[in-house]
A and B are shown apart, each in its own frame.
Chain A
Amino acid sequence: MKIIEIILESIGTLGLNKLRTGLAILGIIIGIGSVITLISLGAGSQKAVENQVQSLGANLLTVMPALQRSGNVRTSGSMTTLTLADALAIINNPEITTVSDVSPELSSRFQVVTKSSNSNVSAIGVYPQYASIRKVAMQSGVFISMSDVDAVQRVAVLGPQVATDLFGEGFNPIGETVRINKLGFRIIGVTQSKGGNGFNNQDNTIYIPLSTLQKQLSGADHLSSIAIEAKSAQVMVQAQDQVGFFLLKRHKLVDPAQADFMIMSQNDILNTASQVTGTFTTLLSGIAAISLIVGGIGIMNIMLVTVTERTREIGLRKALGAKKRTIITQFLVEAIILTLAGGLLGMGLGICLSLLLSRLLSIPSAISLTSVVLSIGVSGVIGIVFGWYPAKRAANLQPIEALRYE
């Protein structure tokens, strides 16, 4: 019997048993579709976090105050070990060759009041360098200038979220006054949205001159962080070392383990964030694996449930002169057609769902080839093995035994 006739025979048989064919294909579609969707969702959210961290600046080091190490624990918090003098010394020291700019920062939360609203907002006292180092662009107006800092001006730049919260959508607040801790601040600019969410949301922040915040609002002269821009991404490690040793010396500490500050690179932050999303991805992969198993069991069941009927069919075909090889080929072709059809449909479904979800959740889509190959491989193997094995067993029986099978 020619192979083309065997293939036609397989297609004919699949067409005769529409319910069985449909259910088997459905099992494969669900298995493959869900695996592709879930894994791409996990990878997509990981990529989203990476993009967000990267958008804060790739050459960025952040120095933060830290408790001196006691035992093995080091914590950061409201400590006062960093000062403006530290920041200025870093930029003015000729031995530190890898740093191009620094931004001293002090952040705090304040009650912010306008004529019509009142809310608790995070404010950051900044130098003009903040905008370039932290990649903040203006939507309208100007950012805090050096003269604002020198003259201890009561001016403020709003994040777009704050502007909307305080003045309503679409209103241009430049020239208006807000009261921060009962002091009036003139609004001189609104920053562009960075679309961030979660930690350190720059859209939901008010920027004022560092000097104004220190002298008029909080009365403190320490910093909550110093942002440092390295000259390039390649010298990040060197910059981290140079700044680290310099600050140790300035703070009269010998042992690096005694440091009262810590320096984090974007990579460190990225790693922390990746750990979180990595857990998420692992979870999704677990669910995906389960659905692959469930899909596989579905395929297996459909194949095995019809074994009785198919064993009789095989007995009859053999009685009428079919050779073993012909029968096994026919059943193998059937199984391959089933898994191929299910596989392609499942892949289509998975890719469509991934694209749709990534659009809905506004995360980058990340359909991984591995998930496609893995899911199609697994359900393909299951479909083919459970289509082929019972057929092979039945083909090895005496025709009359197969015909009597129940």
Chain B
Amino acid sequence: MIKVVDLKKIYCNDGVETVALDGVSFTIKKGEFTSIMGPSGSGKSTLMHILGGLDTPTSGQYFLDGEEMSRLDDDHLSEIRNKKIGFVFQSYNLLPRTSALKNVLLPMLYAGVDPQTRNHKAQILLDQVGLSDRANHLSNQLSGGQQQRVAIARALAMDPKIILADEPTGNIATNQAEEIMKIFTRLHRDGHTIVMITHEPDIAAFSSRIITIRDGKIESDRTSI
């Protein structure tokens, strides 16, 4: 389902080159639940952005469902991000001064889902992340953990086959983190492909495969059972 070959990402700011990814290759099969671990600054988010079609690699290839992403035009990429991928950002990225409900239904708005259906769906999703009573709160009136859960609900809005989550439990209390992991486990069981970045080994333990990255290179790649 996901195949990357010799992925490199080099940032170039004011003549200073930063190598964020230095030749990363792996394949993730449909229905796999993968964790990506590694120290801060090792290039995890950079990798995730490329997988999500939000950024382009400096070199290397990325195939999603057999399609090479770098060949696709901007609108086609938008469509893939909308329909195939649910992305949870490390820093949530909710629309400011906008209700939780509106944030969740935004992807459905761009997909052209009719208003009734999308409102209903958004409500259900907020319910699933335990925020049904916060639907009409504005995003800046929510705690960090609540914002993160809204971001997860939003990622699920279009029933994407692939869910990419950048530290989805990073700001959440342990008991809530378990709730989130239950959602991810259920999604995994339903056949979704999940890639998740985490720092915590006990969160990574929910997944079936752990890829560890260090200095832009894969350090280890272990599949359990």
- The residues in A between 380 and 406 inclusive whose CB is less than 8 angstroms from any CB of B are 398-401, 403
Task: Please name all residues of chain A whose beta carbon is closer than 8 Å to the beta carbon of B107 when the two chains form the complex.
Answer: 320-321
Q: Do the beta carbons of B49 and A5 come within 8 Å of each other?
A: no
The 8 A CB mask of B179-210 against A (1 = contact, 0 = none) is 00000000000000000000000000000000
Answer whether residue B127 sits at the interface, using C-beta atoms and an 8 A cutoff: no
Closest to B111 in A: A321
Question: Which chain A residues border B82 with CB–CB below 8 Å?
Answer: 320-321
A17 and B109 in contact (CB under 8 A), knowing A319-B54, A321-B79, A398-B56?
A: no
Q: Which of A84-92, A191-199, A256-264, A310-318 contacts B (4 or more CB under 8 A)?
A: A310-318
**Does chain A have a CB within 8 A of B142?**
no
Q: Contact between A400 and B111 (Cβ–Cβ < 8 Å)?
A: no
Q: Does B87 contact A (CB under 8 A)?
A: yes
Q: Which of B24-32, B58-66, B91-99, B217-225 contacts its partner?
A: B91-99
| Interface residue ranges of B35-90 to A (CB < 8 Å) | 49, 52, 54-56, 74-75, 78-79, 81-83, 87, 89
> Chain B 100-134 against A: per-residue CB contact (8 Å), 1 yes, 0 no?
00000011011110000000000000000000000
- Considering the chains assembled together, what is the distance between the CA atoms of A400 and B88 in angstroms? 13
Q: Within 8 Å CB of A403, what residues of B?
A: 54, 89, 93
Assembly CA distance A326 to B93 (angstroms)? 20
Question: A324 near B: Cβ within 8 Å?
Answer: yes
Q: A398 with B111: in contact, given A321-B79, A321-B81 (CB under 8 Å)?
A: no
Contact between A16 and B98 (Cβ–Cβ < 8 Å)? yes
Question: Of B79, B83, B97, which contacts A17 at CB under 8 A?
Answer: B97
Judge whether A1 and B93 touch: CB under 8 Å.
no
B149 CB contacts on chain A under 8 angstroms: none
Residues of B near A322 (CB, < 8 A) are 78, 110
- A9 to B55 CA separation, bound complex (whole angstroms): 26
Closest to B87 in A: A319
Judging by beta carbons under 8 Å apart, are A320 and B81 in contact? yes
Query: B161 interface residue, CB < 8 Å from A?
Result: no
Residues of B within 8 A of A5 (CB): 109
Task: With both chains docked as a complex, state the minimum distance between the C-beta of B140 and any C-beta of chain A, in angstroms.
Answer: 11
Size bracket of the B interface: 20 to 34
> Is A1's CB under 8 angstroms from B109's CB?
yes
Residue in contact with B55 in the complex, picked from A17, A323, A400, CB distance below 8 Å: A400
Residues in chain A near residue B56, CB distance under 8 A: 398
Residue among A16, A322, A323, A399 having the largest count of chain B Cβ atoms under 10 Å: A399
Q: Please judge, given known A-B contacts A320-B81, A320-B82, A322-B110, whether A400 and B54 are in contact too, CB under 8 Å.
A: yes
| Per-residue interface assignment for chain A, residues 14 to 26, with 1 indicating a CB less than 8 Å from any chain B CB and 0 otherwise | 0011000000000
Take A16-B98, A17-B97, A399-B54 as given contacts and tell me if A2 and B78 are in contact as well, using a CB distance cutoff of 8 Å: no
Is B8 positioned at the interface, with any CB of A under 8 Å from its CB? no
The reply to whether B109 and A400 contact each other, CB–CB distance below 8 Å, is: no
Tell which of A309, A319, A320, A326 touches B96, judged by Cβ atoms closer than 8 Å.
A309
Using CB atoms, name the residue of chain A closest to B157. Answer: A320
Residues of chain B lying within 8 A (CB to CB) of residue A320: 81-82, 106-107, 110, 154
Interface centre among A313, A319, A320 (most CB of B within 10 A): A320
Interface Cβ pair total, 8 Å cutoff: 64
CB pair B78–A398 under 8 Å, yes or no, is no
Select from chain B the residue with minimum beta-carbon distance to A17.
Answer: B97
- How many angstroms between the C-alpha atoms of A403 and B89 in the bound complex? 11
* Interface size range on A against B: 20 to 34
CA distance A399 to B52 in the complex (A): 10
- Chain B nearest Cβ from A399, distance in angstroms: 5
- The digit string for B150-185, where 1 denotes a CB below 8 A from any CB of A, is 000010001000000000000000000000000000
Q: Is the CB of A400 within 8 A of B110?
A: no
Q: Which residue of A lies closest to B158 (CB)?
A: A321
A1-B109, A400-B49, A400-B55 known; A318 and B96 CB under 8 Å? no
State in angstroms the CA–CA spacing of A318 and B79 once bound together.
10
With a cutoff of 8 Å between Cβ atoms, the chain B residues found around residue A326 in the complex are 110
Fill in one digit per residue for A312-345: 1 if any B CB lies within 8 Å of its CB, else 0: 1100111111111110000000000000000000
Given contacts A321-B83, A398-B56, A399-B54, contact A316 B95 (CB under 8 A): yes
Looking at the assembled complex, report how far the CB atom of B86 sits from the nearest CB atom of chain A, in whole angstroms: 10
Pairwise interchain contact B75-A324, C-beta atoms closer than 8 A: yes
Task: Take A1-B112, A2-B112 as given contacts and tell me if A323 and B78 are in contact as well, using a CB distance cutoff of 8 Å.
Answer: yes
Instruction: Give chain A residues whose Cβ lies under 8 Å from the Cβ of B96.
Output: 309, 313
List residues of chain B with CB within 8 A of the CB of A309.
96
What distance in Å separates the Cβ of B99 from its nearest Cβ neighbour in chain A? 10
Given A313-B95, A316-B93, A400-B49: A321 and B110 interface contact (C-beta under 8 Å): yes
- Min CB distance B11 to A, Å, is 11
Within 8 A of B (CB), among A232-289: none
Bound: A325/B93 CA distance, A: 22
**B55–A398 CB distance below 8 A:** yes
A403 to B107, CA, bound (A): 17
Are B109's CB and A9's CB within 8 A? yes
Chain B hits for A2, CB < 8 A? 112
- A286 to B75 alpha-carbon distance, docked (Å): 47
User: Are B74 and A324 in contact (CB-based, < 8 A)?
Assistant: yes
A residues near B81, Cβ cutoff 8 Å: 318-321, 399
16 contacts between A and B (CB under 8 A): A1-B110, A9-B109, A17-B97, A316-B95, A320-B81, A320-B106, A320-B107, A320-B154, A321-B81, A321-B82, A321-B110, A323-B78, A324-B74, A398-B56, A399-B81, A403-B93
Give residues in A with beta carbon < 8 Å to B: 1-2, 5, 9, 16-17, 309, 312-313, 316-326, 398-401, 403
- A-B contact sample (6 more), CB < 8 A, given A1-B110, A322-B110: A2-B112, A9-B109, A313-B95, A323-B75, A324-B78, A399-B54
